[in-house]
Chain A
Amino acid sequence: MVTIRVQAEPFDIGAELSVLTAGRADIGGVGCFVGTVRDTAGGRRITAMTLEHFPGMTERAMTDIAAEAGRRFALLGCTLIHRVGTLLPGDPIVLVLAASAHRQAALDAAAFLIDWLKTGAPLWKKERFADGTEAWVAAREEDERAAARWSAA
């Protein structure tokens, strides 16, 4: 089963894991990535982060990314949940769960999904600093490279 959601509310990792694995005895492992808001960026203290998205297209891009993971790995299901709106340091932003019969595919698929999500889904972060100023986060070449390492597969 594939679950794709963009939401303002926090997610419950345990509940999502239960939904993904309910009634499935063929799943041997679930790879998990949880992204959270850091309290610093470039040495500056962050007090809040706001995420903007493109309603409709974001879900569509996430669905495409999940489908691509399904073609590349022996996936038995996955969950992609991305939060939007204003979040505070320590808050969870993104959840990736990837289920497979074996650990390698589960862990690889989870890594692939978060790498592609970072570069292939229309979401934008804006950071608010302790001095009250705000700035949009610039795209990182490092993230492009992380996504590109999967291209040869």
Chain B
Amino acid sequence: MSGPKLRILYFAWLRERIGTAEEAVALPEGVATVAGLIAWQQSRGEKFAAAFATRTIRCAVNQSFAGLDAPVAAGDEVAFFPPVTGG
């Protein structure tokens, strides 16, 4: 696969459940938004399906909070994480 990859980051319990903090993948065919990427994650087998089953996952594209409709393109850095609990 040529072209820039999608860098995907995971934090907190999402990182623990998936078992990795970071991966680089080719942009899955037909994926153009955060919602599309989540649907693809849910199709990656039991571990990913379980981790992405909840509606409470938050996302950031290129380090800015992003909603389900936000665009995702090859070369982007997309992070998935639970609602934040700092402070």
Q: Footprint of B on A, CB under 8 Å?
A: 35, 51-54, 56-58, 60-61, 82, 93-94, 114, 117-126, 136-140, 143
Contacts of A123 in B (CB 8 A): 84-87
Report whether B87 and A124 are in contact in the complex, using a CB–CB cutoff of 8 Å: no
Interface size bucket, B side? 10 to 19
Report whether B86 and A53 are in contact in the complex, using a CB–CB cutoff of 8 Å: yes
A125 to B84 CA separation, bound complex (whole angstroms): 8
What are some 6 contacts across the A-B interface (CB < 8 A)?
A57-B60, A121-B86, A123-B86, A136-B85, A139-B56, A143-B87
Report whether B79 and A124 are in contact in the complex, using a CB–CB cutoff of 8 Å: no
With A122-B11, A122-B60, A136-B12 known as contacts, the answer to whether A57 contacts B87 (CB < 8 A) is: no
Closest Cβ neighbor of A124 among chain B residues: B12
With A57-B63, A124-B81 known as contacts, the answer to whether A114 contacts B87 (CB < 8 A) is: yes
Report whether A51 and B84 are in contact in the complex, using a CB–CB cutoff of 8 Å: no
Interface centre among B9, B81, B87 (most CB of A within 10 A): B87
